[in-house]
Chain A
Amino acid sequence: MGNHSDGSPNHSGTVATAGQNEVEKFQDPGIPPHRLRLADTDPKAAKRAERQVAILFGSSVVGTVIFLVAYFAIDLGPDSTIATIRLQNALLGIGTAFAMLGIGTGIVHWAKALMPDHEVSEERHAIRTEEDRQAAVRIVDDIVEETGIKRRPLIRNTLLGAVALAPLPALAVFGDLGPRPDDKLAHTMWAPQEGKLKRLTRDPDGTPIKASDVTIGSAFHVIPEGLNELHEGKLNEKAKAVVLLMRLNPESLKPSAGREDWSYNGIVAYSKICTHVGCPVALYEQQTHHLLCPCHQSTFDLTQECKVIFGPASRPLPQLPIAVDAEGYLVATSDFKEPVGPSYWERDEHERNINS
């Protein structure tokens, strides 16, 4: 950019300095002369344009007819198939498109080809004139004077106070939008009920799973026993309780202290709800032992107790402690030892409460 300010106005392509704005400018030559269209000079062309416009309007009528025929003649009765719906949808669409485009293109063609196309210039007016401003100021002054609000500060202050407080009921009235969270997020259905451990059952049919069913490399999508029998809040419970059950070679699991008895013969169960923002982390790669969330690509390593190895999640997936009951079915020995799903402000507090 070295020569940008060399100030030589004759050197084409370079730049002049401050004085440039005062240097003479080109005169505005005004609106270019109007050029006549074919239809302006040739009556045949005008006639042709007129016919084209009429044809376009006519095609709109055809479109309307297509729509009505498609609506009434195509039956969506019991024998209809997807192809019937596809046909009707296409015909309704074509009909509408013709009906609308016919009118639209017809009008525009009419405007372009036959209506006068002289460009005109109109003056702009000041958005606010000084005269108006002064008049407005006088009016406002009069109004303020007549209310006497300046002379009576008591009125002003009490009014301001009242107006400031008045919206509070309007906010308070939304207090019943939802219940208090309390520690609802900290517990799931997996907690043993009356001493009975919950079985792991298949999603969606709810049949229990035997440890011997889970072969190496397989992945079971699991819901707690009794979930399907819930009448209320089934999805709420499911949203916290879904679990992914997998079996690895027991050697590749290296349980940390306190988790040694959370798995059974290489079978492990982890919460399926992503610790990022809660999508189901359901993509299990059986050779790499990675779990991938399809929403934001957080990747968890099963062999490292679902530690985050990629993506936006920050916390490992919670593990569900499991064992086998007398009949050989897999059961959860307790609830999760931490709240599942996305983090929230009170989460750490809840986790401490669970473990104390």
Chain B
Amino acid sequence: MATLLFYILGAVAVAATAMAVTRRNPVHAVIYLVNSFFALALIFYLLGAPMVAALEVIIYAGAIMVLFLFIIMMLELSPGEDADRQGPVPLQWLPVLLLGAAILGCTLLLLQLDPAAGQQLPRWYASPRDFGYTLFHEYALAVEIVSFQLLFAAVGAFYVGRAAGTKEPLGGER
């Protein structure tokens, strides 16, 4: 059962990502990618890592894709521009409905399965405490390196943003 669910979810993730790559409309692409992230989160849950599943939804679906949306909106790509080229509306929405339905069905089956209690993968079930302990003990160096990298990126982005903008920040002294 778990194996079957894994392959269905994998297929959904791949199909959703393929749809995301081939869409002309950027917002529709974002929605497909979010679908794919949900499928990935379910796969993580199936493998006994609820913490990683939650992080997948919070960080990828909730934060990174929202940033993508933000940029699409800043570019002012309005929805009406290429509506004629996309074919009839039901055809546009059929794939996302099918993928969404597949994810929903798998979720319901997963709830029946409960990998935490089942005997399929008991050793790999990681509670949030185990997860944090392993991350900050065994992989402490990797965590530090990655966080430094993020810090560099933040400082760099701040520098680039400042150099390109005006000397005084907008609405600074008023």
Real binding pair: no
What residues make up the interface of B, taking CB atoms closer than 8 Å to A?
A: none
